[in-house]
Each structure stands twice: as structure tokens, then as C-alpha cells.
Chains A and B, each alone.
Chain A
Amino acid sequence: MKMSLLLHLFSSSMEGFFFGSGKAHVVTGVALVILAGLALSLWRMDRRLSKMEDDLNAPQS
């Protein structure tokens, strides 16, 4: 019950935000999603390279 209330409050405040300023905030949301995608891909690449470096640095058996 509490969870659904929280979700309702969250979605209604989101609606208020995205309908404001002639819906200009939708552009902000899109730009943030693009940044998040770029961040995720760089983060994954970083981790993969770390793994490859660890493999290369591991003593050969």
C-alpha cells in the first residue's frame, strides 16, 4: 500500500516536472538518458580493460 502511494506520488511529481516550461524538461530527460548510456558503456569498458590487465599480469601457470 505504502509502495503504491510512493509510486503514485513519484509519477505525479514527474508529470508536473515534464509538463512544465512547455515540456522543455523532456529534452533534459533525453540528454540525461544519453549521458547515462555513455557513462554505462565507458564504465563497462573500464571494467573489461581492468579484467584484461589482471589476466595479463597474472603469473603464467
Chain B
Amino acid sequence: MNHWNRLWKFGSLLLLAYVILRGFSTPLQPGLVEAEPNSLSAGTQDISFVAVGQPFLRPGEGMEAFELILKSGTALLKTELTSVEAHRVSATIEVPTTLPSPALDAYLFTPSAGTLFLGNAFFVEDAEKGPLPSHLTASIPQESEPHLGFSFPYQPNIMESIRNLLWHVPMWFAMFFVMGIGFVASLAQLRTGNVNWDHRAEAAVRTGLVFGILGLITGSLWARWTWGAWWVSDPQLNGALVTVLLYSGYMILRAAMGDDDRVGRLSAVYNVFAFVMLVILLMVLPRYTESLHPGKDGNPGFNSYDLDNSLRAVFYPAVIGWGALCYWIYTLRLRMNRIEYRLLTQ
């Protein structure tokens, strides 16, 4: 290995080590996950909220710095805090007999963690539709900017699993990258007939398939605990599966043809077709449909709702690190192909 080769390979490992350290040790911003009890009725009642992530109560902060407000329609219903703990807040509320809406959203204003929100926190079963009594109406308190240090954003439902972004997404990017190499190699193979390009295409598809299968498994695992199912019938997910099956067909075609002289040319034609299908199935069709998967319905893959600066600081190194590791594995496979060819033809 020359110095440059050592440098980028070692660099990719360092980047991945950084991603593991940062990805697992960065705390999550606090978020409200659960309200108790599930439903309310008119009268004075005790309510409480449970949070995950970093504690929203910092040392030196008192209960008076916090405020909890419930929102019914456009009206704000005041509460009286009774206790604030690291991951739990309790309050007393006087539920009126008339409300603009029976569904109540919760807003917890904190001095250092910003404003925490929980939609549809409570449902008032016997509320009649009407205005909120003026003595129960709250005013919006002064909001404070969160200053939590380096932390990952809290997203409802995704919660701590947001760290999967550093594994699942870069694996697909890495697959795209090597499949692109395979596509170019197959085009060159068709143009020149040089067996070296066939070796490149085969190595690229074989490596890309591994990353594609890892992308499917990590995505399915993530979907189970965010969407509630191992697999949902979705254009993005189905497209990913069809793509992996298409490339599996490439490997089967090569294996079935054995030592046939036409294997390079035929598999190159198939690979060009498979890559065009990959672009259509994963990058074009899902953009025109609604999907649970982020970045769909006309939006780009990642936008301000999916990533913040702290995630970007780990996500981009993860993309480069996984991409470089994938390329390293591709070069190893390519060299194996070349050695095997030389030994067989000598």
C-alpha cells in the first residue's frame, strides 16, 4: 500500500470511530412523551408529563422558572405546577365545562431547554363546545432559547432512534456510490469489451448488494419501532427491495452463465438496466407519492425538519466514512477478481 492508500483507508476508519463516539455519546434534547391521565373530565385534577432525553430541570433552576399551558383550539388554559423533576412535571388543572375543543395540546416552557410540546396530550370527555372562561385563560409566557450544548434533536416517535440516521442512510448512499461505479464500468465494458471493466462491475455490484441488504435490514428494524411494522407497503421501501432483488438477479445471471464467453457483455447490459431502474425506483417514483419515509412528496431527501446542525456534524462524516469503507471493500473484491482471472488464464 502506498501512503495515499493508507491515508484514506485509515481516515475512513477514524471517521467511523468518530461517528460511533459522537453518535452514541451525544445526548438527546428533552421531549415530552406521555401525559397522565389519558382523559380528563370537568373539575380540578392532577396531571403529569413524562419526558425523555436530557433532563429539562438544570441545577439551580426552580419550579417558578417553568410554566405549563394547555391549548384548546386557539384558547390557552392555565395550570398550576406542583412539582418539576428531571424527567417529570406535575400540575393541577381546573377543567371547565365548556372548551373550544376537547383535545388539549401541552406546552411546557422551560428556562434552558426551550419549549417542549406534546400534541393531543389530553382529551376532555364531557366537555361542551364553548368559550374558555376568562379566569382560566393563560397568557403566553416569555419564551427562552434552548441552550443545551451539543445534543441531537428530539423528534416525536423517533426519539433516541434518531441515531440510526448515522448507520441506515449512509449505507444506502454507499450502495448508490458503488452501484454508480458498476454502471460506468458496465458502459465501458460494452464500449471496449475489456475484461477489466467486467471485473470492476462485478466487484461493485457484489459490494453494493451487501450495503443494500444492510440498508434494508437496518431500515426494517427502524420502521418496526417508529411506524409499528417491519415492513409497510410504501413506494420507497418497495422500490428498495425491488432494487436489491434486481441486483441479486445480476449475480444469479453471472453464476448461471459460468464460463460462457458472453457473460461479461450480457451482464453489462443487465447492469445498465438495473442501475436505470435503481434511479427510477429510489429517486424518481417516490418523489411523486406520499410516504411515511422522509424526503418524499416532492421534497428533497433531507431538509430542515430532518436534520439540525448537531446531526449534520456527525451525519456528513458518517456518509464519507461509510462511503470510503464501501469503496475499500470494493477495491479488495476487484483485486480478488483480477488475481482469480490471472490464475485461471495463466
* A interface residues (Cβ-Cβ under 8 A, vs B): 21, 24-25, 27-28, 31-32, 35, 39, 42-43, 45-47, 49-50, 52-53, 56
Given contacts A35-B16, A53-B335, 8 further A-B contacts (CB under 8 A): A21-B25, A31-B24, A42-B328, A46-B9, A47-B1, A49-B339, A53-B339, A56-B342
Listed A/B pairs (26) with beta-carbon separation below 8 Å: A21-B25, A24-B24, A28-B20, A28-B24, A28-B25, A31-B24, A32-B20, A35-B16, A35-B17, A35-B20, A39-B13, A42-B325, A42-B332, A43-B9, A46-B1, A46-B9, A46-B328, A46-B332, A47-B1, A49-B335, A49-B336, A50-B1, A53-B335, A53-B339, A56-B339, A56-B343
**Cβ < 8 Å to A, chain B residues 1-58:** 1, 9, 13, 16-17, 20-21, 24-25, 27
Residue from B16, B25, B329 in contact with A25 in the complex, judged by beta carbons closer than 8 Å:
B25
A52 to B9, CA, bound (A): 20
Q: Which residues of B contact A49 (CB under 8 A)?
A: 332, 335-336, 339
A46 to B9, CA, bound (A): 11
Which chain B residue has the least Cβ–Cβ distance from A57?
B342
Q: A45-B332, A46-B332, A49-B332 are in contact. Are A31 and B1 (CB under 8 A)?
A: no
**Majority secondary structure, A binding face:** helix
A59 to chain B, nearest CB (A): 14
Residue from B21, B332, B336 in contact with A28 in the complex, judged by beta carbons closer than 8 Å:
B21
Q: Which residues of B contact A21 (CB under 8 A)?
A: 25, 27
**Majority secondary structure, B binding face:** helix
In the bound complex, do residue A24 and residue B25 qualify as a contact, i.e. CB atoms below 8 Å apart? yes
A24 to B24, CA, bound (A): 8
In the bound complex, do residue A52 and residue B24 qualify as a contact, i.e. CB atoms below 8 Å apart? no
In the bound complex, do residue A52 and residue B20 qualify as a contact, i.e. CB atoms below 8 Å apart? no
A34 to chain B, nearest CB (A): 9
A2 to B24, CA, bound (A): 34
A31 to B22, CA, bound (A): 12
Q: Interface centre among A32, A39, A45, A56, by most B CB within 10 Å?
A: A39
Which chain B residue has the least Cβ–Cβ distance from A39?
B13
Q: Interface centre among B24, B25, B328, B339, by most A CB within 10 Å?
A: B24
A47 to B242, CA, bound (A): 36
B203 to chain A, nearest CB (A): 12
B33 to chain A, nearest CB (A): 17
Nearest 8 pairs of A and B residues by beta carbon:
A28-B24, A31-B20, A49-B335, A39-B13, A52-B339, A32-B20, A35-B16, A45-B332
Which chain B residue has the least Cβ–Cβ distance from A40?
B13
A41 to B335, CA, bound (A): 16
A28 to B27, CA, bound (A): 13
